[in-house]
């Protein structure tokens, strides 16, 4: 239920944030019987009812699908860096930089792309869902980089099963060590050319595999998902799906939490700090600033899940100062704010493909193909000496449409009529690479305040040599794959990237074995404040190259299970 004047101020649990992990924490805690206050700093977005642009065609959209230059410059100077988040179809699911500014250290760039609404970025995420492998959890220890993860794949495997089954992931198993199999619904089709490339890669390389993207859409077994429906292949996901076919907090976890009767949802609630009592060495609750009235309200709870997103959660911890924690809640190590990571991308290749003129496709697939990491895998000879870790590719092959008429200089009746027909095939792919954890890649709070009296964030992040060398390889390996397949006019590309543009920003409150070098323990508990759990991207100790949300959700479900068990034992 929505918070109202009759709602209590004391709960069993508080969840800060309703994004992809906040929603999951809310569901888990409520389903385990806890009376839970669920906060979000943004406005409510009700599933289906509030998806205002869901069915609009291109000719229905403001300014033909683009915001005016004046508006972009004034309100979206940072959000526009993606090239797509500011489209009218879904711009209302992203913040206005003019209302939520941040700063970047001189000569550095950080692209902080986010939305402040119930559901957070689970409304607009790319839905790609891949498991980490044992290799990913071991990597820091093996490479002597940063600190070791306090967990391994075996600790999370059952939780991957659990979240995949609830979320509904479409994909196919490939038996690859570097990309564990999962619990999948029917995989989406390849286009003819993608099948061609898959076969070609299979014949040329033993362990380079092209598979279909693993994506959080219901494509079969619809009856197992309650009110959610099957994907209709409209590819209008970021607007919100009237069928509930892709996973979001709004379509999936928040309704599940609501159904228990244990959830009180309070939107427009900015968490200013987590309150701490040094006598009990526990957090007592959350002080909230109402986003609309700016009044300060204190809510109490036995346990707190901080799921405000990487930067949001770390900011809240930094704002939670006390005599015991002068540098922010749980920050004995000094690592809070440090080791910021993302996935670097915007580098790959594209090519023309001859043939298949008699073939086409039907439907708009909200997914592409995926080439899992093949670089630097133990036991394989596909390794590079000038960088460690690796990357995957995401791409697709489709037929050119009338847009080719721009470059194909021509005019007249035949020229026009030809553009009514599907054009030649084209294929492309973009690499997503791991960024190492560097202590100096960081965020901090500065003296400047926002409209609610809370400090602004300043970022200081750059790519370093390992990433730059990896990017060179991402480009040349993509070219190699397309040339080997016999495609024509193979062209590499590299577009502008700033840390954060991958919208997978993670780290800054990392997990670890030692309280001297980490903020969280192996259960996502703050080492020194055992009733506070942080399970969003901020907890990550390394980044791997796989899209991270599935891992965040698995860690959340695991931590919630532990938290409730501990609470029932009287340990919290």
Partner 1 sequence: MKRRTALKNLSLGLGYTMTYAGMAAFVTSCNADNPVNEVASTWKPTFLKEEQSTMLTEILDAMLPTTKSSPGFKDLNLIQVLDNVANKLYKKEDQITFSAGLVDIAAKMEASKDINGFMKTYMTKKPEGEEARIDKLIDLDREEVAEGDINAYNFHKTIDSIRSIGISAYFTNEIIGTEYLSYDPIPGKYVGCMPVSEVGNVWAL
Examine residue 101 and tell whether it contacts partner 1 (CB under 8 A): no
Examine residue 83 and tell whether it contacts partner 1 (CB under 8 A): yes
| Nearer to partner 1 (CB atom), residue 129 or residue 269 | 129
Examine residue 494 and tell whether it contacts partner 1 (CB under 8 A): no
Query: Could you tell me which of 505, 516, 433, 419 has the C-alpha nearest to residue 470?
Result: 433
| Nearer to partner 1 (CB atom), residue 86 or residue 253 | 86
**Interaction residues for partner 1, span 534-563 (CB under 8 A):** 547
Nearest distance from residue 60's CB to partner 1, in Å? 7
CA atoms within 13 A on the CB side of 66: 6
| Nearer to partner 1 (CB atom), residue 256 or residue 429 | 429
161's CB contacts (< 8 A; 6+ apart) are 182, 183
Nearest distance from residue 462's CB to partner 1, in Å? 23
Angle at 257 between CA 251 and CA 258, to 5 degrees: 85
**Integer angstrom CA distances of residue 243 from 23, 61, 119, 164, 187:** 19, 21, 16, 19, 19
Contact flags string 37-56 toward partner 1, x per CB under 8 A: ------------------x-
Examine residue 127 and tell whether it contacts partner 1 (CB under 8 A): yes
Angle at 19 between CA 13 and CA 22, to 5 degrees: 20
| Nearer to partner 1 (CB atom), residue 235 or residue 296 | 235
Angle at 546 between CA 543 and CA 552, to 5 degrees: 70
Examine residue 128 and tell whether it contacts partner 1 (CB under 8 A): yes
| Nearer to partner 1 (CB atom), residue 84 or residue 452 | 84
Cα dihedral 61→64→65→68 (10° resolution): -110
Q: Give φ, ψ of 75 to 5 degrees.
A: -105, -20
Among 247, 299, 345, 391, binds partner 1 (CB under 8 A): 345
Give how far the C-alpha of residue 443 lies from the chain's centroid of Cα atoms, to the nearest Å.
19
**Integer angstrom CA distances of residue 519 from 344, 531, 534:** 25, 13, 9
CA dist., res. 348 & res. 492, Å (int):
6
Examine residue 223 and tell whether it contacts partner 1 (CB under 8 A): no
Binding range to partner 1, per CB under 8 A, among 16-24, 137-145, 398-406, 456-464: 398-406
Among 46, 158, 360, 516, binds partner 1 (CB under 8 A): 360
Binding range to partner 1, per CB under 8 A, among 331-339, 401-409, 516-524, 530-538: 401-409
CA dist., res. 242 & res. 280, Å (int):
47
| Nearer to partner 1 (CB atom), residue 241 or residue 275 | 241
| Nearer to partner 1 (CB atom), residue 330 or residue 548 | 548
Nearest distance from residue 248's CB to partner 1, in Å? 12
Examine residue 367 and tell whether it contacts partner 1 (CB under 8 A): yes
158's CB contacts (< 8 A; 6+ apart) are none
Examine residue 191 and tell whether it contacts partner 1 (CB under 8 A): yes
Examine residue 66 and tell whether it contacts partner 1 (CB under 8 A): yes
Residue with tokens 């888990």: 28
Nearest distance from residue 550's CB to partner 1, in Å? 13
527's CB contacts (< 8 A; 6+ apart) are 330, 332, 515, 518, 519, 520, 521
**Interaction residues for partner 1, span 244-283 (CB under 8 A):** none
Examine residue 489 and tell whether it contacts partner 1 (CB under 8 A): no
3-state secondary structure of 289: strand
| Nearer to partner 1 (CB atom), residue 297 or residue 479 | 479
Phi-psi label, residue 268: left if phi above 0, alpha if psi -120 to 50, beta otherwise: left
Nearest distance from residue 513's CB to partner 1, in Å? 34
| Nearer to partner 1 (CB atom), residue 47 or residue 504 | 504
**Interaction residues for partner 1, span 463-482 (CB under 8 A):** none
270's CB contacts (< 8 A; 6+ apart) are 41, 288, 289, 290, 291, 452, 454
Number of residues that bind partner 1 (CB under 8 A): 86
Query: Could you tell me which of 307, 363, 389 has the C-alpha nearest to residue 121?
Result: 307
Examine residue 69 and tell whether it contacts partner 1 (CB under 8 A): yes
Examine residue 326 and tell whether it contacts partner 1 (CB under 8 A): no
CA dist., res. 147 & res. 149, Å (int):
7
By residue count, the chain amounts to 572
| Nearer to partner 1 (CB atom), residue 5 or residue 69 | 69
Nearest distance from residue 501's CB to partner 1, in Å? 11
């Amino acid at each position: 239920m929505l918070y109202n004047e009759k709602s209590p101020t004391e709960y069993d649990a508080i969840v800060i944030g309703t994004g992809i992990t906040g929603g999951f924490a809310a569901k888990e805690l409520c389903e385990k019987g806890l009376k839970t206050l669920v906060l979000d700093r943004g406005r409510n977005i009700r599933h289906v009812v509030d998806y205002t642009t869901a069915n609009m065609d291109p000719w229905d959209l403001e300014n033909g699908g683009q915001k005016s230059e004046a508006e972009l410059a004034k309100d979206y100077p940072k959000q526009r860096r993606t090239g797509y988040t500011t489209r009218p179809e879904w711009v209302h699911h992203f913040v206005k930089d003019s209302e939520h500014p941040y700063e970047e250290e001189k000569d550095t760039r950080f692209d902080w792309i986010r939305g402040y609404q119930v559901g957070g970025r689970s409304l607009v995420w790319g839905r790609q869902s891949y498991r980490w492998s044992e290799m990913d959890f071991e990597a820091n220890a093996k490479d002597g980089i940063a600190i070791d993860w306090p967990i391994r794949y075996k600790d999370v495997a059952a939780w991957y099963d659990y979240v995949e089954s609830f979320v509904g992931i479409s994909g196919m198993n490939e038996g690859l060590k570097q990309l564990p199999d999962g619990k999948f619904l029917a995989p989406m089709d390849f286009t003819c050319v993608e099948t061609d490339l898959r076969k070609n890669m299979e014949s040329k390389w033993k362990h380079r595999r092209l598979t279909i993207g693993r994506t959080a859409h219901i494509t079969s077994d619809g009856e197992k998902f309650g009110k959610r429906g099957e994907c209709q292949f409209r590819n209008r996901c970021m607007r919100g799906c009237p069928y509930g076919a892709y996973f979001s907090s709004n379509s999936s976890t928040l309704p599940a939490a609501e159904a228990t009767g244990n959830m009180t949802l309070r939107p427009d609630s900015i968490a200013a700090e987590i309150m701490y009592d040094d006598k009990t060495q526990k957090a007592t609750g959350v002080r909230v600033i109402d986003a609309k009235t700016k009044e300060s309200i204190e809510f109490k709870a036995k346990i707190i899940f901080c799921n405000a997103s990487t930067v949001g959660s770390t900011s809240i911890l930094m704002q939670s100062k006390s005599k015991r924690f002068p540098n922010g809640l749980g920050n004995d190590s000094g690592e809070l704010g440090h080791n910021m990571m993302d996935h670097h991308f915007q580098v790959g290749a594209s090519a023309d493909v001859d043939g298949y003129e008699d073939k086409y496709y039907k439907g708009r697939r909200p997914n592409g193909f995926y080439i899992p990491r093949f670089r630097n895998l133990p036991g394989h000879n596909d390794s590079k000496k000038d960088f460690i870790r690796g990357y995957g590719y995401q791409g697709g092959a489709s037929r050119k449409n009338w847009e080719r008429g721009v470059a194909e200089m021509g005019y007249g009746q035949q020229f026009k009529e030809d553009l009514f027909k599907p054009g030649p095939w084209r294929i492309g792919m973009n690499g997503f690479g791991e960024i190492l954890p560097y202590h100096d890649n960081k965020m901090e709070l500065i003296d400047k305040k926002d409209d609610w009296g809370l400090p602004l964030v300043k970022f200081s992040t750059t790519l370093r040599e390992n990433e730059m060398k990896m990017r060179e390889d991402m480009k040349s390996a993509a070219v190699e794959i397309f040339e080997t397949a016999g495609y024509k006019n193979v062209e590499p590309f590299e577009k502008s990237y700033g840390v954060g543009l991958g919208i997978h920003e993670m780290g800054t409150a990392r997990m670890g074995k030692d309280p001297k070098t980490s903020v969280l323990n192996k259960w996502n508990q703050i080492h020194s404040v055992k009733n506070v759990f942080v399970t969003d991207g901020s907890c990550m100790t390394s980044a791997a190259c796989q899209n991270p949300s599935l891992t965040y959700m698995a860690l959340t479900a695991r931590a919630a299970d532990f938290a409730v068990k501990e609470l029932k034992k009287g340990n919290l």
